[in-house]
């Protein structure tokens, strides 16, 4: 393999890994918000 091809491949892998990380982080935040909303609807406070 030549060096420019290897650099491009590494860049694509890093981009894909970043996208997966962002999706995971977004999912965690949305799950946390969902839990907060459900707790509010069913009467549980932040202390519970």
Spell 11-43 as b/e; 16+ CB within 10 A means b: eeeeeeeeeeeeeeeeeeeeeeeeeeeeeeeee
pLDDT recorded at residue 46:
61
pLDDT for 13 equals: 95
pLDDT (tens digit per residue) in 4-21 = 777 999 999 999 999 999
pLDDT of amino acid 39: 87
């Amino acid at each position: 393999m030549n060096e420019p091809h290897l650099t491009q491949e590494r860049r694509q892998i890093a981009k894909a890994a970043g996208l997966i990380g962002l999706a995971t982080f977004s999912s965690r935040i949305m799950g946390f918000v969902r839990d907060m909303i459900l707790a509010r609807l069913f009467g549980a406070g932040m202390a519970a």
